[in-house]
Chains A and B, each alone.
Chain A
Amino acid sequence: MKKIDHSQLKETLYYEQLPNGLEIYLLPKPGFQKTYATFTTKYGSIDNTFQREGEQKHQVPDGIAHFLEHKMFEQESGEDVFQQFARQGAAANAFTSFTRTAYLFSCTENTNENLVTLLDFVQAPYFTDQNVEKEKGIIGQEIKMYDDNPDWRSYFGLIEAFYQNHPVKIDIAGTVESISKITKETLYDCYHTFYHPSNMLLFIVGGIEAEKTLQLIRDNQSTKKFDPPAKINRFYPDESNAVAEPKKIMKLSVQTPKCLMGYKEKSSEVSRIGTERLKQELTTQICLDVMFSTSSDFYQSLYDDGIIDDTFGFDYSLEPGYGFTMFGGDTHQPEELIKRIQEEIPRRVSTGVTQEEFDRIQKKRIGASLRSLNSLEWIANQFTSYRFQETDLFDIIPTLEKLTLEDVNQRLKTHFQADQFAVSLVMPK
Chain B
Amino acid sequence: MRPFLFSKSSAANQALAKKNSTTQYIAGGTNLVDLMKKHIAEPESLVDITSALPAKIEPTAKGIQIGAMVRNTPLANDPTILAKYPLVAKAVLAGASPQIRNMASTGGNLLQRTRCPYFYDVTTPCNKRKPGSGCSAIQGENRMSAIVGYSDQCIAVHPSDLCVALAALDASIKIQDKSGKMQSISFTDFHRLPGTTPERDNNLPANALIHSIEINENAFAKNYAYVKVRDRDSYAFALVSVAAAFNLNGDQIVEARLASGGVAHKPWRWLEAEQYLKGKTANAATFEAAANIAIKDLRPQTHNGFKIPMLKGAIETALQQCLNP
Task: Say if A and B assemble together.
Answer: no
- What is A's interface to B at a CB cutoff of 8 Å? none
- What is B's interface to A at a CB cutoff of 8 Å? none
